[in-house]
């Protein structure tokens, strides 16, 4: 039964035109390009990365993310391993800034600072940041794909601040109103791509736009 369901939904995905553009490209239009989880609770509830396949969607998403920070001094953009690398590098390129990768521990062959954290699945993990880039006074914009429990982003914030740099703000496609998500919103300037009328759906881990994948 699971295989049959997966085949049907995969077929629906293939029938959708990921390259299509709507006439009205209002904020968040590209969210309808995201795909639902069809593989069970071991995975996130949706896959946002499908929207990156549409160049206009990626461009508009990045513009929406950086809009609130136009008046801020940003020296560097940092993205979180791994999906935050895509948005982070795109944001950095658009702003004309460099990009710093915050890695899962064990991947960098240079001196690093580490920080333990609990990810959205409840698993204990460690991330690391290189020591030869950040210094006191460097203004950093932190970017990740999605903030669910907030544990991963909080660890990234801690790493940046340990090295004396300043977190100018936090940007992600979505920031769910969990305890960790609210902590970020209460303590740091932030941006996301979720229109206000869709925030409750995101918090409930469902979007009406995903219904098309079941047709």
**3.30.56.10, 3.40.50.2020, 1.10.150.170, 1.10.10.10: which CATH number matches 27-213?**
3.40.50.2020
pLDDT, position 180? 97
pTM: 0.91
Check: CB of residue 119 under 8 Å from CB of residue 104.
no
> What average pLDDT score do residues 148-172 get?
98
Model confidence at 5, pLDDT cuts 50, 70, 90, reads: very low
pLDDT single digits (tens) 53-77: 999 999 999 999 999 999 999 999 9
Model confidence pLDDT, tens digit, residues 90-109:
999 999 999 999 999 999 99
Domains in the chain: boundaries: 27-213
Is the backbone of residue 130 left (phi > 0), alpha (psi -120 to 50) or beta?
beta
Whole-number Å distance between alpha carbons of 36 and 207: 9
């Amino acid at each position: 039964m699971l295989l049959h369901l997966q085949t049907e939904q995969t077929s629906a995905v293939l029938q959708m035109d990921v390259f299509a553009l709507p006439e009205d490209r209002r904020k968040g239009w590209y969210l309808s390009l995201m795909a639902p989880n069809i593989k069970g609770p071991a995975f996130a509830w949706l896959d946002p990365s499908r929207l990156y396949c549409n160049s206009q969607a990626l461009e508009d998403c990045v513009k929406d993310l950086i809009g609130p920070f136009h008046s801020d001094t940003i020296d560097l953009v940092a993205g979180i391993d791994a999906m935050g690398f895509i948005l982070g590098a795109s944001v950095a390129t658009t702003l004309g800034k460099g990009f710093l990768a915050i890695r899962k521990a064990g991947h960098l062959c240079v001196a690093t600072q580490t920080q333990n954290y609990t990810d959205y699945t409840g698993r204990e993990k460690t991330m690391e940041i290189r020591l030869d880039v950040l210094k006191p006074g460097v203004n950093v914009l932190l970017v990740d794909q999605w903030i669910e429990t907030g544990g991963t982003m909080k660890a990234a914030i801690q790493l940046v601040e340990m090295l004396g740099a300043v977190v100018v703000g936090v940007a992600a496609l979505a920031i769910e109103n969990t305890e960790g998500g609210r902590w970020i919103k209460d303590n740091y300037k932030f941006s996301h791509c979720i229109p206000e009328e869709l925030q409750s759906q995101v918090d409930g881990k469902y979007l009406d736009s995903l219904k098309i994948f079941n047709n």
